[in-house]
Amino acid sequence: MNASALAQSAYGPRTGGAQTARESEYQVFLRVTAALSAARNGGAFGPLCEALNQNVRLWTTLASDVAAPENGLPQALRAQIASLAVFSIRQSFAVIAGEGGVDALIDVNQAVMKGLRGAPANTA
């Protein structure tokens, strides 16, 4: 099972017709990033922990997918995704420990979302 399929099963059913794997991945990132943003703005610890848990699950799934020998992405891209996963997971736990904020996590997720949409990562 690839990252898209795992993410889809972890985060719920599709909301419409057939989606490409890229669209499904984008939707998962969108939901997780929206949860992080809402939790950041809401100030309550429970929703923040749930949003961070979703983020860790997403990035753990991606890390597992790019580590699989059958993954067809170029090795350099796989390494970059794995590096982002390590950062995102560590930062998520740092936020829980009160040692950081969610802004960096939101920024990373939004950059990936832009990549999934084919937009340059440095655009707003």
DSSP sequence for 54-88: HHHHHHHHHHHHHHSTT--S-HHHHHHHHHHHHHH
pLDDT higher than 60, residue 1:
no
Q: Output 3 or 65, whichever has higher pLDDT.
A: 65
**Domain 21-117 architecture:** Up-down Bundle (1.20)
Q: Output 6 or 96, whichever has higher pLDDT.
A: 96
CB 25 within 8 A of CB 116: yes
Predicted local confidence at residue 9, as pLDDT: 47
Q: Domains of the chain: which residue ranges?
A: 21-117
Predicted local confidence at residue 22, as pLDDT: 87
Say how far apart CA 93 and CA 90 lie, in whole Å. 5
Geometric angle at alpha carbon 87, from 112 and 77, rounded to 5°: 50
pLDDT in tens, 4-51: 444 444 444 545 567 788 899 999 999 999 999 999 988 889 999 999
Q: Which residue has the tokens 């059913």?
A: 13
pLDDT in tens, 61-84: 999 999 999 999 999 999 999 999
